Amino acid sequence: EEYFPGRHLTLATDTVLFIPETERENTFVVTKPGKIINIRFHFTGETASMRFAPEIIKQPPGNRYKSLFISAFDEWQKKDAGRYMRTHSIVSSILAGLISERSQQYMQSGKYAIIRPALEFVDENYKKPITVEMLSKLCGISDEYLRVLIKRYTGMPPLAYVNSKRLEAAYEMLLSGSATVIEAAEACGFESTSYFSRLFKRRYHLSPGRVHETKITLPNIFPKEEINP
């Protein structure tokens, strides 16, 4: 059992307990014998984007995550030169699967239908100025409720999600060589090149100029970084 300030979560068979790095004030109490695999990890940029509350993720018997957790633990114990990359790959697979399932469950809950107009609008118009008020009006809900629903679905606030879309598009332009840094910033909706460069480096940990010059293909392990305006 895990005790957090104001919360009490009970682990059972075939469950995954996700504890964000920001949640440090917790107490673990063993009430029944059992096997637990505890993996502490930190990916570049992960703590900035994943700001969910601690939660239990129930899995069906025979789910693939049990074997993946065991594989990650076994690989880390090998102590050889390739253990980091192998363990990183397995943990990435676990997170990608859990996040994908979470999104599908959210879509099926009916909440996705409420914010769908806003998400589609961002996909089609991220190059233009966008405000929270504009998005909430499209969905017919309050600004605050929009923030709550989009944060639950994407893991980031509305305007951070917009910036994430802009950065992804700019990265593709720089990688293809179809635009300079200034051109990519302007084409993707950034009014300031210096601001764009700062956000780009915060997410990808390389300057946009570096990507443009070397055409470095970054590994697709970066989460949707919470890039606030």
pLDDT digits (tens, 9 = 90+) for 78-126: 888 888 888 888 888 887 787 777 767 666 668 888 999 999 999 999 9
**CATH code, domain carrying 180:** 1.10.10.60
Please state, in angstroms and as integers, the Cα–Cα distance from residue 71 to each residue in 94, 125, 173, 219, following that order: 11, 42, 37, 22
Are residues 115 and 104 part of one domain? no
- Classified as helix, coil or strand, 45 is coil
- φ/ψ (deg, to 5) at 219: -60, 140
Q: In which domain, by residue range, is 184 found? A: 111-214
Residue after which a domain boundary falls, among 108, 131, 156:
108
Is pTM beyond 0.75 here?
no
pLDDT value of position 219:
46
Please state, in angstroms and as integers, the Cα–Cα distance from residue 81 to each residue in 75, 85, 86, 87, following that order: 11, 9, 10, 11
